[in-house]
Amino acid sequence: MNKKIFFVCDTETTGLGSHAIVFDFAYVIADKKKILCEKTFLVREVLTNSKLMLGALFNKEWRAMFGGKIFELYIPRIASGEFQIVAWRKILETMREDILTHNVNVFCAYNLPFDLGALNKTHRMITEKNINLSRFDLLDLYFFSTSTLLNSRLYHDFAWKHGEQKGFITQCDNVRTTAEKTYAFLTGNPDFIESHTALSDAQIETEILWRLLARKKTIPYNVVQHMAWRHAQTIAGTLI
């Protein structure tokens, strides 16, 4: 049996749906215990495309989350050399080399359908082709979390204890199931706030992966479902 090597990626995009074009992409390559490699890139063809970026800034929801960060976080880190603006084809070339070097066989993300969709939209925009991931097992850390962890009595008690004040309960009285809240629960820190930069988010998602693997539950390889949050609204198979 081949050792599982996980490619955990995260994307930050210019919007949702058809507007989900990746401008910040990062990944962590890890086995079940340690990080083997991590990389982060800003996508040149997107970040320097004034039509795309101005269109994003005109979107109220996007501007509220990322508008200030472009000036307060991304530009200073670009200036310091911490973030590099890289052509998409060079990003993919580096990614392929790292995948081959470390024998990656599992491709992961938290809310994998969104990240796969965003990566493919970006790839089609630049190359007019789709990304081929047929050689990998797919693992949606969102579905893995909601179906094995966030549907537990322990998580529901934690979420309701901190409630709307800490953002654990939605206006519809559902438990929230984001990577941020999953990580907050696993670390016992209800005040944790995700940075929403691709590398930082990929790092916390790697920690979520490790914690889930340690629970020795069935790993849902190649189960990719939309609306995975619904699985967390039941406890031990009983509808709330």
* Domain assignment of residue 129, yes or no: yes
Residues 224/195, Cβ–Cβ less than 8 Å: no
* Domain assignment of residue 1, yes or no: no
Identify the domain containing residue 51 by its residue range.
6-239
Q: Give the CATH number for residue 31.
A: 3.30.420.10
- pTM here is 0.93
Q: What confidence score (pLDDT) does residue 240 get?
A: 44
Distance from C-alpha of 137 to C-alpha of 135, rounded to nearest angstrom: 7
Reading the chain (240 residues) residue by residue, the pLDDT tens digits are 689 999 999 999 998 888 899 999 999 999 999 999 999 999 999 999 998 888 887 877 777 777 778 888 888 999 999 999 999 999 999 999 999 999 999 999 999 999 999 999 999 999 999 899 999 999 999 999 999 999 999 999 999 999 877 889 998 899 999 999 999 999 999 999 998 899 999 999 999 999 999 999 999 999 998 889 999 998 855 544
Instruction: Count structural domains, the chain.
Output: 1
* Domain assignment of residue 132, yes or no: yes
Residues 43/34, Cβ–Cβ less than 8 Å: no
Residues 189/182, Cβ–Cβ less than 8 Å: no
Closest CA to 49 of 14, 20, 73, 83: 14
* Domain assignment of residue 91, yes or no: yes
Residues 30/8, Cβ–Cβ less than 8 Å: yes
* Domain assignment of residue 229, yes or no: yes
SS3 at position 109: strand
Burial class (CB in 10 A: 0-12, 13-18, 19+), 108: buried
